[in-house]
């Protein structure tokens, strides 16, 4: 009764992100009611292992009382403080300092946003401002990567390179350019890491030369392409791309909205990649999804140019909720939890997750297994030699998501038959084993579908 009325209210009033509105009206919402650790419970009382940490964000896991207490304390003392007019609050100042201390290199300055999309959007504004302040206003062209995701703001969605985010919205803009993804499983250069790196460097050079080296403002890359299908570039790829951008004098933005805060192991994937970007965007794990917050890390050399360029004038970029004290208090507590054992547990659980997924490689539907830490994917195919994707008619996103759900597992099922995994870092061995067992069951059931069975070779 309760749940049915919620379904009707949702159908009538709640517009869902990235959904077929008509499809959703038909399907109806699935209401989540509570969660603890890596387990969520729906309104019917069904328990599921959350193999995707919400939307790759609840890195700490659900139900940490210390996070709830930190937020409650801050709400009682000071629920809001603007950072406009030279005002501030202790948690936001402390969080900025703690983050700067841990960030790679000279990423010493932190601008807080509400999430990842407005973090990316803010970098575009800062970068334009930077080049104008440096007397090079013609540097107004931006390059990103096919299958990349950089959020859903009006301009940021044009850096995103997923067709769904463009169709019907009149983007990308003509100043937003793309180069091919390094995608090792399907790279025309083959799977050899050095060949993939060489191909990406050549593509970036060609693009920069075509645009005009003095026109390019910035290049955006995710250390691992998340929403494009958990595409893991070869080791050394980020560093090679970063160095090429430095050679050209192009600003390099590492979008760590997914990879930040322990998702791949360390606090920031950039440290593993041994690079210092000019900007780093983060969100999600920053507050572990308990409250909204994102953060733009800005290199000192960039900050100084913007500060000198503005002089006594205000840099006209800000949000009412920039540096929100409750979000910052949560961020500080979450950081404590990461460093108090969660990062370590994530590394251990990540190794178990990868080993478990590797063990599924012999399954007739599994073409590729990839990942780093607690960020992984398997790519389903119907012909391993030809790497033939599941037919779109098989609607793998809906079918496999629903089937996994019925088996007590939440995963990300992409439309092209890639299954994404990003469990909370708090996962126990039993949680990871449940993810693997329930995936195996889901794959076996899918293999028995007559339309899939018919197309499988080998």
Ligand X SMILES: Cc1ncc(COP(=O)(O)O)c(C=O)c1O
Residue 116 binds to ligand X (criterion: CB under 6 A):
yes
Least distance in angstroms from the C-beta of 188 to ligand X: 24
Q: Which residues neighbour 346 within 8 Å (Cβ) at sequence distance 6 or greater?
A: 59, 262, 263, 265, 373, 374, 425, 427
Q: Least separation, in Å, of the C-beta of 283 and ligand X?
A: 4
| Binding residue (CB under 6 A) for ligand X from 124, 283, 298, 394 | 283
CB of 212 to ligand X, least distance (A): 27
In the bound complex, what is the minimum distance in angstroms from residue 344's beta carbon to ligand X?
24
> For residues 422 and 427, which CB has a smaller minimum distance to ligand X in the complex?
422
Q: Binding pattern to ligand X, positions 46-65, x when CB under 6 A?
A: --------------------
Instruction: For residue 414, state whether it binds ligand X (rule: CB under 6 A).
Output: no
Stretch that binds ligand X, among 60-68, 146-154, 167-175, 326-334 (CB under 6 A): 146-154
Shortest Å, Cβ 231 to ligand X: 12
Distance in Å, CB of 200 to ligand X, minimum: 18
Edge-to-edge strands of the sheet including 279-282?
109-113, 294-298, 279-282, 251-255, 216-221, 141-145, 176-179
CA-to-CA separations, 10 to 4, 249, 382, 401, in angstroms, rounded: 10, 49, 37, 20
Among residues 39, 123, 227, 264, the one that binds ligand X under rule CB under 6 A = 227
Q: Which residue is nearest to ligand X (CB)?
A: 116
| Min dist. Cβ of residue 397 to ligand X (A) | 16
Using alpha carbons, select from 102, 151, 143, 117 the residue that is nearest to residue 297. Answer: 102
Q: How far is the CB of 63 from ligand X (least distance, A)?
A: 22
Residue 120 is a binding residue for ligand X (CB under 6 A): yes
Spatial separation of the C-alpha atoms in residues 400 and 394, rounded to whole Å: 10
Using the minimum distance from each CB to ligand X, give the nearer residue, 287 or 382: 287
Asked if residue 257 binds ligand X (CB under 6 A), the reply is yes
Q: Which stretch binds ligand X (CB under 6 A): 147-155, 194-202, 412-420, 424-432?
A: 147-155
- Is there binding between residue 258 and ligand X (CB under 6 A)? yes
> Binding of ligand X at residue 418 (CB under 6 A)?
no
Closer to ligand X at the Cβ: 157 or 390?
Answer: 157
Question: Residue 454 corresponds to which tokens in the numbers above?
Answer: 């018919």
**What is the binding site for ligand X (CB under 6 A)?**
115-117, 120, 149-151, 222, 226-227, 255, 257-258, 283
């Amino acid at each position: 009764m309760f749940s049915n009325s919620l379904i009707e209210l949702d159908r009538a009033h709640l517009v869902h992100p990235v959904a077929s509105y008509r499809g959703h009206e038909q399907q109806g919402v699935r209401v989540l009611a509570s969660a603890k650790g890596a387990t969520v419970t729906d309104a019917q009382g069904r328990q599921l292992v959350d193999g995707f940490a919400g939307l790759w964000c609840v890195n700490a896991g659900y139900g940490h009382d210390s996070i709830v207490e930190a937020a409650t304390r801050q709400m009682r003392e000071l629920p809001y403080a603007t950072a406009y007019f030279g005002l501030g609050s202790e948690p936001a100042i402390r969080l900025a300092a703690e983050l700067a201390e841990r960030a790679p290199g000279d990423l010493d300055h932190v601008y807080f946003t509400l999430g990842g999309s407005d973090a990316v959007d803010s970098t575009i504004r800062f970068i334009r401002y930077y080049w104008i302040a440096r007397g090079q206003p013609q540097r107004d062209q931006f390059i990103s990567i096919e299958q990349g995701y950089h959020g859903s703001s009006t301009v940021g969605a044009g850096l995103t390179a997923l067709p769904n985010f463009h169709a019907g919205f009149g983007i990308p803009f003509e100043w937003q350019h793309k180069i091919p993804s390094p995608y090792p499983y399907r790279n025309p250069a083959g799977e050899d890491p050095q060949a993939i790196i060489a191909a990406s460097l050549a593509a970036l050079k060609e693009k920069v030369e075509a645009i005009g080296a003095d026109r390019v403002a910035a290049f955006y890359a995710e250390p691992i392409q998340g929403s494009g299908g958990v595409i893991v570039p070869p080791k050394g790829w980020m560093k090679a791309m970063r160095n090429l951008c430095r050679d050209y004098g192009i600003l390099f933005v590492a979008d760590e909205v997914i990879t930040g805060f322990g998702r791949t192991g360390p606090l920031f994937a950039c440290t593993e990649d041994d690079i210092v970007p000019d900007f780093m965007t983060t969100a999600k794990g920053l507050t572990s999804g308990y409250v909204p917050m994102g953060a733009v890390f800005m290199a000192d050399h960039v900050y100084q140019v913007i500060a000198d360029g503005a002089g006594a004038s205000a840099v006209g970029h800000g949000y009412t909720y920039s540096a929100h004290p409750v979000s910052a208090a949560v961020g500080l507590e979450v950081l404590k939890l990461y460093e108090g054992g969660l990062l370590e547990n994530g590394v251990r659980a990540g190794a178990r997750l990868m080993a478990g997924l590797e063990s599924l490689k012999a399954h007739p539907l599994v073409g590729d297994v990839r990942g780093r830490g607690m960020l992984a994917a398997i790519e389903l195919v119907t012909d391993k030699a030809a790497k033939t994707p599941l037919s779109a008619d098989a609607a793998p996103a809906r079918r496999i998501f629903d089937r996994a759900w019925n088996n007590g597992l939440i995963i990300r099922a992409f439309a092209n038959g890639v299954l994404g995994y990003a469990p909370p870092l708090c996962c126990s061995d039993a949680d990871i084993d449940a993810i693997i067992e329930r995936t195996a069951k889901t794959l076996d059931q899918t293999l028995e579908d007559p339309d899939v069975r018919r197309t499988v070779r080998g």
